Amino acid sequence: MGWNAADIRREFPIFNHPVNGKRLVFLDSAASAQKPQVVLDAITSVYATAYANVHRGLYSLAEAATERYEAAREKIAHFIGATDPEELIYVRNATEALNLVAYAWGRQHIHAGDRIVITEMEHHSNLVPWMALAREKEAELAYLPVSDAGELDVTALPSLLADGRTRVVAFTLMSNVLGTIPPASELIALAHQAGAVVVVDGAQAVPHLPVDVGKLGADFLAFSAHKLGGPGIGALWGRRQILEAMPPFLYGGDMILSVKKHNATWNDLPYKFEAGTPAIAEAVGFGAAVDFLSSLGMEAVHQHEQALVAYALERLPEVPGLHILGPMHSQRGGAVSFWLEGIHPHDIASVLDAEGVCIRAGLHCAEPLHARFGLPASARASFYVYNTTDDVDALVAGLLRVIALLRR
């Protein structure tokens, strides 16, 4: 599928509906992306023609549902370069995936005096589970710092690895606030040389640029469907050897092979970690979303967003008193956060909403990062496949209106 922004935008029904009487300019895809028609059709088709519980039924409808559910798993695994679909576990979202690792792997392997290394740019989902684990196990939680320019300071890692106490290094593949793309290969190589396990939060990266777990080299990768145009479901990829050694995260139906009165044995991968009736239609919708992105080409998606970011970094400084957070170059993700002198981000978002422009305002689930920059909150515009330079122009025009209305 060739890149044509107008054609791609038409694939998303929501853009047929004005907001406050204005053309919808959706700039909050870092929080959750809009859904193309093919995803909506896939979900509806399951409920209308092929819905039954998976894995359990011996009748034709159940077999059809199971086939679609597992076919989606294969598509999603292929999308991230995984050669073994059984290493891909369905979860509710990336948050649950990261909690699964911290709980099921972390409780086995983190002990008093051990160290967990994360970064100052982490989303709370890749921070709070490790914080809770460190407190429970009396382990140390250490942070890799972020520079004034919004880049990750990798030079701090070797000293944290030198004493052999670091058991896990967890970091985001793309900051949801700064747009920063850290040097993942370098971080992973250093961590593995020290014998640490690497957990990567791919919630922002997987929807926006090519990700190949084989080339990446991490031990775990968490990501969500809803951020890449799919429904409310997510996935955890992990190395088979590590997953097989981990205990279950949840207990109940389908994650067991046998249950006696006083003991049970666990199912094989990936079902050991998929207790209960799963999100069947959502999994199929997940598969449809990765099909849609694959038809566009993830390298093309990344290039499109880099071009939009470059244009935004050129135009936003035209707004008086606007300060951009993060790297001032286009080799970054499509989230551009900023603050306006003398105007609270919540007020910015409210005025822009009246113009049909949707942005996020607040801490973006990254309170320590905002504290690092001395900010109580920020405004964030984030781009995706359906955005164009016209959307950036609308944002700038809306911000100029914000200033005209609110700055004294």
Q: Which residue has the tokens 């909050």?
A: 28
Query: Could you tell me if 245 and 163 lie in one domain?
Result: yes
Last-in-domain residue among 294, 322, 346: 294
Pairing of strands 360-362, 378-382: antiparallel
pLDDT tier for residue 5 given thresholds of 50, 70 and 90: confident
Contact 231, 43 (CB under 8 A): yes
Contact call for residues 99 and 126 (beta carbons, < 8 A): no
Domain membership of residue 36 (yes or no) is no
- From the candidates 156, 365, 375, 397, give the one annotated as an active-site residue: 365
Planar angle of CA 164, 168, 172, nearest 5 degrees = 135
Does residue 16 sit in the same domain as residue 132?
no
Q: Are residues 396 and 289 in the same domain?
A: no
Residues 278 and 264 grouped into a single domain: yes
Residues 280 and 329 in one domain: no
CA distance 170 to 177: 17
Number of helical H runs and strand E runs in the chain: 15, 15
339 and 222 within one domain: no
Q: Does residue 131 form part of some domain? A: yes
How many separate domains does the chain show?
A: 2
pLDDT at position 156 over 60: yes
Give CA–CA dist 314/167, Å, rounded. 42
Work out the average pLDDT over 285-292.
98
Comparing C-alpha atoms, which of 163, 120, 173, 114 is closest to residue 144?
120
Place of tokens 């209106």: 401
Which residues, in sequence order, are bridge partners of residue 90? 235
Q: How distant, in Å, are the alpha carbons of 12, 270, 316 from that of 342?
A: 36, 51, 17
Q: Per-residue pLDDT averaged across 224-241, rounded?
A: 98
Of 260, 294, 328, which one is at a domain's C-terminal end?
A: 294
Both 326 and 273 in a single domain? no
Domain at 378, CATH number? 3.90.1150.10
Do 47 and 95 belong together in one domain?
yes
Question: Of 364, 363, 362, 367, which Cα lies nearest the Cα of 347?
Answer: 362
Residues 383 and 264 in one domain: no
358 is known as an active-site residue: no
State whether residue 259 is helix, strand or coil. Answer: strand
Quickly state the pLDDT bin for 2 (edges 50, 70, 90).
low
91-150 tens-digit pLDDT? 999 999 999 999 999 999 999 999 999 999 999 999 999 999 999 999 999 999 999 999
Q: What is the mean pLDDT of the chain?
A: 96
| R_g of the chain computed on alpha carbons | 22
What's 343's DSSP letter?
B
Question: Could you tell me if 374 and 307 lie in one domain?
Answer: yes
Measured from the Cβ of residue 67, the count of other Cβ atoms closer than 10 Å reads: 12
Q: Are 287 and 39 in contact (CB under 8 A)?
A: no
- Count CA atoms closer than 13 A to 328's CA, side-chain side: 9
Describe the chain by its helix, strand, coil percentages, rounded to 5. 45, 15, 40
Confidence of residue 6 (pLDDT cuts 50, 70, 90): confident
Judge whether 35 lies within some domain: no
Q: Of 265, 278, 323, whose CA–CA distance to 65 is shortest?
A: 278
Domain span at residue 397 reads: 5-30+297-406
**Tens-place pLDDT, residues 307-334:** 999 999 999 999 999 999 999 987 899 9
pLDDT interval class at 1 (50, 70, 90): very low
Bridge partners of 200, per DSSP, are: 171, 221
- Which of 294, 314, 331 is where one domain is finished? 294
pLDDT of 345-355, one tens digit each? 999 999 999 99
Tell me the pLDDT tens digit for each residue of 18-74: 999 999 999 999 999 999 999 999 999 999 999 999 998 889 999 999 999 999 999
State whether 309 and 376 are in the same domain: yes
